Structure 1
Amino acid sequence: MSEKSETPPPWSPAISAGCPVGFAQQAWIEASITWFVEEFGRDPVMRPIVLPRPDLRSAGYTGTPKQIDDAVARTCEQMGIDRTELTVELFDREGEDATTREGKRAVGHYYVENGRAVIGLDVTEASDAAYLIAVIAHELCHVRLLGEERITNERKDHERLTDLLTVYFGFGVFSTNAALRFGEATRGFSVQPLGDLDERTLNAARNDGYSRLGYLTEPEFGYAMACYAWLRGETEPPWAARLDPGPRALLRQGLAYLSRSARPGEFPTLRTGGVPVTVRLVPKTRSPWRGGLHLTVKPTNWPPDAPGHRPS
């Protein structure tokens, strides 16, 4: 392969230097990931990233209840959740009239019953293992956030925060690729605006062959994956090839921006009044906060949806 045809590295001038998301989205993503480091420590982001297995079909995967339960158990293990403390409901809405769903279809849900976390999964999507894992990861991140009382569902960004946490726990390839995919145009679902979704469901609205899953946009997922790679010290992550072309380009743009705007392991977020905020990961013994996080300036309440730090 000639040098000209090779893919340029993330810091190459051939890659756009701009952040792939707007300032408010950038600030929210960086502040939220910073909060994840405080809440969950560095271990989740430093584990090997979870990648789809292309051999599942040939290995006999068809989406049976036993195979779904195995997928839930493996995802629980990756996220530090006790599978025995979790109830899994399987439901089937394939036969529902699309008009009765008001243009959207719940493919997963989470709630608490008698003090026990319950997640529901739509078995009509279970034959697509990667898509199913994206739904499972989202619902289990509800367990880590809502179930562990780190946030409440009164936060208007709690679903978006849940999507972002799937990236931090290593399931970003699944969530990102599922955010926008091709589907059957004849299934009769209309597209709902992101942010206008039911509080406890994922959206699988379809129109003109597209399917949207989740609450973050494709650029937001792309930049979140860039921040994930940046914290891991990966400027050319080998797993980028497993992302769909659109988010892969956004990931590379995000890494190019970070490489030009911040030192390794730091974020370049600017908050109100133009005050620069530098986030640095340091050894736990040097930080008074759980997880080894240090901020060079006092945290503020901006952006308004960014997670606040709990009192120590």
Structure 2
Amino acid sequence: MATRLGLGLPQNKQYDIGRDVPDVARAAEEMGYESLWVYERALFPLASSQGLYGIEGLPWPEGYRGVAEPLVTLTLAAAATHRARLGTSVLVAPLHMPFQLAKALATLDAAAGGRVVAGLGTGWSLDEYAAAAVRPFEERGKALDEVIDVCRAVWGADPVSYEGTLTKISSAAVAPKPARPIPILLAATNKRAQRRLVDKADGWLPVGLGADRIAAQWRELQDLAAERGRATPLQTVLRANASYSAKAYDGADRAPFQGDVDQIVADLVAHAAVGLDEILIDLQTSTRDAEELKDVAAALITTARAAGV
């Protein structure tokens, strides 16, 4: 069976959110993309000692200077489409109050007819945690656990009851309910996070850093699932952060998903061979506007399908 393909929606500062998100979403669905995705970047610190991903000295990309709020972006896409699933890869769950987030996701899923995929992570930005003022950065794992548990409770049958650190629900009716159980996928990058994924989530959201690395991580995760007695298979959606250029990249240091359409598709072929369910292609950092994003997305899906992806 062919690997499903999804497309990242235009959230970055060079796009007109109200115009470009519905336009790209509608066009992507017509092209055959089966899902549409957003990510979360809450702010862009102008003076921070912390680099990108918490790595000292690594600058934040300029594209992060104004990223549209993910659930508002997905709502715009939902209103413009009919079939494509609507996913977050990833939403930094501990930046949100658990109950409000659970209710927002349920409402969006009910409105969209059961198309939401909740991809969650703990994040890495100290500045974002300080601005959100929900839980300290040091409690991010516990905060994610509570978000997952509250979502499961709120999305389940009434009466809803829950007793947590932030959230206390005493026998309440909570509606609307999702149109179907919303899958929760996690971006697990360490042993503790992998155990949480296997025990509490529906699937995995890796980042495409090379097919061999992904294959090794996938084997490790499957082994852990077997070790912990997980009965249901894990869903998998790979995030491919593409760096598109009109001309082929001819350097020996080419990163995965960097270069022209043929080079990006070659990487899609290699990563699809790992056996993951779906690959999300995010082009927005390397396209100048929505028209170029649509043109490249169309060329990619046509070439990828011809290559057997």
Range into which the TM-score falls when normalised by the shorter chain: under 0.3
Q: Larger relative contact order (C-alpha < 8 A, sep ≥ 6)?
A: 1
User: Which structure: greater strand fraction?
Assistant: 2
